[in-house]
């Protein structure tokens, strides 16, 4: 469901993306609305599914998760059942932070965060490659993360129309 967003909604979303722990009163100060108006708008955005959840941004390195890898997976046999099995496996793996289906030569791209290369090797060799439908796996290890803010570009496109 797409709902029309006004400038206050966009400001509210931007403030929440920056700090989801802000109270309605604090948000009101930021966007110049009362706490009750913020509460109503927030509820509307939650009900519409625009705000899916609130979460903390954790530092992976501080938690000992020092290896980020992007793993491309190509299936050998394409079927709904193979896709379902692969999807179920990947969504159950906490190390997989993101999983995307792609166009082109690679069917899936996974972002995997682990403590070390041994753990990454285990995931690739013991979890991904033994899957019957998996034909090819190619991994690239991130040397440095230049940007990881996960903020949607609210000032572009149809947002706020």
Q: What is the predicted pLDDT for the residue at 161?
A: 46
Q: Which residues make beta-bridge pairs with 111?
A: 70, 98
3-class secondary-structure state, position 156: coil
* CATH code, residues 61-141: 3.30.70.920
Start and end residues for every CATH 3.30.70.920 domain found in the chain: 61-141
Strand pairing class (134-141; 96-101): unpaired
Selection from 81, 22, 12, 79 nearest residue 51 by Cα: 12
Q: What is the predicted pLDDT for the residue at 3?
A: 80
Q: Over the range 29-52, which residues count as b (16 or more CB within 10 Å of their CB) and which as e?
A: ebbebeeebbbebbeebeeeebbe
Low-confidence ranges of the chain (pLDDT < 50): 161
Selection from 145, 159, 12, 152 nearest residue 70 by Cα: 145
Please tell me the class of the 7-47 domain: mainly alpha
Start and end residues for every CATH 1.10.10.10 domain found in the chain: 7-47
Q: What is the predicted pLDDT for the residue at 22?
A: 97
Q: What is the pTM of this model?
A: 0.86
């Amino acid at each position: 469901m797409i709902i029309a967003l006004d400038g206050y909604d966009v400001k509210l979303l931007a403030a929440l993306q920056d700090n989801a722990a802000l109270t309605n009163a604090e948000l009101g100060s930021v966007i110049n609305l009362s706490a009750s108006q913020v509460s109503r708008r927030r509820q509307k955005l939650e009900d519409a599914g625009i705000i899916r959840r609130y979460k903390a941004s954790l530092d992976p390195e501080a938690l000992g998760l020092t290896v980020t890898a992007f793993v491309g997976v190509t299936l050998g046999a394409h079927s709904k059942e193979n896709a379902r099995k692969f999807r179920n496996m990947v969504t159950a793996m906490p190390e997989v932070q993101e999983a995307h289906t792609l166009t082109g030569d690679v069917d899936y791209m996974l972002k995997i965060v682990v403590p070390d290369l041994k753990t990454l090797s285990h995931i690739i060799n013991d979890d991904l490659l033994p899957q019957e439908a998996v034909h090819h796996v190619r991994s690239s290890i991130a040397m440095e993360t230049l940007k990881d803010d996960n903020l949607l570009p609210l000032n572009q496109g149809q947002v706020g129309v």
